[in-house]
Amino acid sequence: MVTFLTAFITSFLVALLILRFAHLHQRYSADHDLQGVQKFHAKAVPRIGGVAIFLGICAGLLTRFWVDTFVLKVALLVLLSSLPAFASGLIEDFTKVVSVKARLLATFASAALAGYLLDAWLVDVQFIGLDYLLAIPAISILFTCLAVAGVSNAFNIIDGYNGLLSVVSLIILFAIAYVSFQVHDFVLMACAFAAMGAIVGFLIWNYPRGLIFLGDGGAYLLGFWVAELCILLVTRNPQVSKWFPVLVCFYPIFETLFTIYRRVFLQKANAGLPDAAHLHQVIYRRVVRWAIGTQDEVLLTQRNSLTSPYLWVLCGMAAVPAMLFWDNKVVLQLFIALFAITYVWLYWSIVRFKIPKWFVINKK
């Protein structure tokens, strides 16, 4: 609890300072691009909320110094490993010149550093055939780094609306903390609670009014943090199914996979080009229909914030069964298949205007 509260207070105050002195740094730190295909805010907003998250996590973990120095040591190694991923995103937030490829490489480096420092490599994933390949060290290292980088990028992809990524991260981290408690891994519990406290402190300023954004620094930091905790959870605790991380993170993972399929196979376009056809964006346009066409800041903010809860529920549909069946590979795989079917049905129902009327917010 002390870890959570310290992280919360620190993140809250750092975000407050960023907002209070925005006039000093907004030339570099604010998101001034209001016309991009993935932009849904009406005025420039600071996009360096990742700083509050990072410092909140640091403060929360440092409270372990007086409780358990071993927990602190391992947790600080995870924090150290996150620096390349966080720094690449934060530099992009300030400069707008860091490519997606460069950020992915930085996250890849973070995963490699964590694997080296904590001996956290995936040597089996409970998948026939692939496990034989993962017995080869070079392949195991490459696969682990690609998995962490992929999840981190997936988190960045779903960061589109007030509170969306923050609450999704909270849900996933709570599931990780719960399973960590079940297997008595208090190191990972501390890491999860530190991140949760930092997110809640930031979230007060982000949702529903959107006064500050996570930015790429915050998105990549949270993506790496979740991915690395998942890797550590299954490598340190063999009783946890390797399919638990897949299901608990399946919303951002499947969003990414479906986006690649949609762009490459349906649109014949570059998979790396941004567009406005992610699930959260089609919900924004076709489910939360009121205030369409307006430029009123208050109405746009309200519409933006009403979009996120739909995705929170969707994420919960994966996280809850992942928590309940964290050690049952077959059941986890069944829920993964069910989630994929539900996602595809929901997406195509929305784009074809075949969704139930009760699902639509159409304020008069």
Rounded to whole angstroms, how far apart are CA atoms 267 and 245?
30
Say how far apart CA 141 and CA 115 lie, in whole Å: 8
Convert the pLDDT of each residue in 315-327 to its tens digit: 999 999 999 999 9
Q: What pLDDT band is residue 89 in, cutting at 50, 70 and 90?
A: very high
Q: How far apart are CA 235 and CA 125, in angstroms?
A: 10
Give the model confidence (pLDDT) of 186-230 as tens digits: 999 999 999 999 999 999 999 988 899 999 999 999 999 999 999
Q: 219-223, 234-238, 262-266: which range is least confident on average?
A: 262-266
Over residues 24-52, the pLDDT tens digits come to 888 777 765 555 544 554 567 899 999 99
d(CA 176, CA 195): 11
Read off the pLDDT of each residue in 258-272 and give the average, rounded to a whole number: 83
Q: Where are the domains of the chain?
A: 2-359
How does residue 70 score in pLDDT terms, banded at 50, 70 and 90?
confident
pLDDT surpasses 80 at 352: yes
Cβ-contact 155, 222 below 8 angstroms: yes
If DSSP codes are grouped into helix, strand and coil, which group holds residue 48?
coil
Per residue in 287-313, pLDDT tens?
Answer: 886 555 556 667 777 888 889 999 999
Tell how far CA 50 is from the center of its chain.
12
pLDDT value of residue 44: 75
Q: What is the mean pLDDT of the chain?
A: 89
End-to-end CA distance of the chain: 44
